[in-house]
Structure 1
Amino acid sequence: MPPHIRIYDVTQNISSMLPVYPGDPGFSREVLKSLEWGDPYTLSALHLSAHAGTHIDAPSHFIRGGRSVHEIPIERLIMMVDLIDSGTVVSPENLSGLNPLAEGVIFRTGSLTGYLSEGAARACVDRRLKLIGTDALSVDSSEEDAVHRLLLSNDMLILEGLYLEGVPAGVHTLLCMPLKIEGAEASPVRAILAPAEWHQWIL
């Protein structure tokens, strides 16, 4: 019998209880028709920020002329990543043990207000990583945008709002698929972390 393969859903549930970045609109679901009301089907409308919950930022979020969500090649959304326990503020030292096979990195800060220092962001750029992920609401500290600008200007994708409870640190295969919204600077995603060897089977 093959060994059990563990796949981690690292996506937050989207609900009215979802934490949002200060100033962003919250999530709501408006039920327009319902089987419970005697309608022949259920139909609802969703109201949310493109940055709601677990989401990906495309370069156009801060970079004029940068690619939008619908322009991200599908192969950029499947990669090997190294999940690192960093603490609230990510420093360059947190990248010292980065697995050389990793194309991206995910930082578990343990805090919604965790963030990357500019030094850590520059270290990510120096390593030519394709994606930076975090369980925090933003890669930047409050009221700042320097880290976003640095990463996105280097065509690096940003994955924020991950749910990482119970996921072991180390190398995984990340799959994170945004909605293909034309012209959008961001989109919610369904993100999973699978065994590292999946990378060679998928791509």
Structure 2
Amino acid sequence: MSVSSANNSSDWIDVSLTIHTGMAHWPDNPGIKIEPSLCLAHGDVCNVSKLTLGSHTGTHVDGLNHFIKGGLGIDKMPLDATIGKARVIGIEDTESIKVAEIAPHNLQAGDRVLFKTVNSERCYQQDDFVEDFVYISTEAAEYLAERQVRTVGVDYLSVGGYQGNVVEVHHALLGSGIWVIEGLNLSAIAPGEYELICLPIKIQDGDAGLARAILKPL
């Protein structure tokens, strides 16, 4: 699986996934297909591609309305939710992100936090969906909501576990107004403080927006 661009410059590091045909996606979401609509090689005047994919493909930001009725769509997301200082926290647990590993970092209201797990090294090496990825435990999601963090990012396709606590974790985070970035590739990132830029495409009332995410060490 192609994971990120090599177009890193001025210390910015691309931590977004490269969208490509056949890439991993949540099992009940649309598959990804990129095909030519117009093609120079076929005698057309330009290249134009047709994209078939779901709104939660690759690196993306969830709208609050993804799980919360009446929640803000992705077009209403405050820009500073995903632009500014962010903390990358390394997680050693290979099952889930738990309060015991988060609490020592003394997260504060308004923090943007990105969790780096074994997912970044393990899950992006194939186009098959990985079911046993490291996810946020329900208790940890509730803890993050209590701490009133601003933004939470994870390094696979969902904050909640497959056939596990997907609903509970999304409700805890999105229901508290926390913006969620999913599908980050943090394999080249060491834990620490960074400048984050991650802007989702602007879809009216969108439940998510595909995004390009980059980090710069502070």
TM, length-normalised to structure 2:
0.83
| Residue in 1 that maps onto 2:157 | 137
CA–CA distance in structure 2, aligned partners of residues 100 and 152 of structure 1: 18
Pick the aligned partner of 1:12 from 8, 17, 26: 17
Deviation at 1:99, TM superposition (A): 6.2
CA–CA distance in structure 2, aligned partners of residues 105 and 77 of structure 1: 10
Pick the aligned partner of 1:159 from 174, 178, 181: 181
Residue 95 (structure 1) aligned with residue 102 (structure 2)? yes
CA–CA distance in structure 2, aligned partners of residues 24 and 99 of structure 1: 36
Pick the aligned partner of 1:178 from 197, 200, 204: 200
Matched ranges for 1:34-113 at <5 A: 34-86=39-91, 87-88=93-94, 89-98=96-105, 103-111=111-119, 112=123, 113=133
The one-character-per-residue Cα deviations of 1:42-77 (angstroms, maximum 9, x if unpaired) are 111111100000011111000011000000121222
CA–CA distance in structure 2, aligned partners of residues 109 and 195 of structure 1: 19
| Residue in 2 that maps onto 1:120 | 140
CA–CA distance in structure 1, aligned partners of residues 156 and 29 of structure 2: 15
Deviation at 1:25, TM superposition (A): 1.3
Deviation at 1:85, TM superposition (A): 1.4
Provide closer, same or farther for how the CA distance between residues 5 and 35 of structure 1 changes in structure 2, counting only shifts above 3 A: closer
CA–CA distance in structure 2, aligned partners of residues 176 and 39 of structure 1: 34
TM, length-normalised to structure 1:
0.89
CA–CA distance in structure 1, aligned partners of residues 136 and 81 of structure 2: 22
CA–CA distance in structure 1, aligned partners of residues 152 and 171 of structure 2: 13
| Residue in 2 that maps onto 1:201 | none
Residue 148 (structure 1) aligned with residue 170 (structure 2)? yes
Segments ≥4 residues shifted beyond 3 Å: 99-102
Aligned length: 193
Matched ranges for 1:182-201 at <5 A: 182-196=204-218
Identity among equivalent positions (%) equals: 32
Deviation at 1:5, TM superposition (A): 4.5
Q: Gapped runs of 5+ residues in structure 1?
A: 197-203
Cα RMSD after superposing both structures: 1.7
CA–CA distance in structure 1, aligned partners of residues 41 and 10 of structure 2: 39
- Report the AA paired with residue 209 of structure 2: S
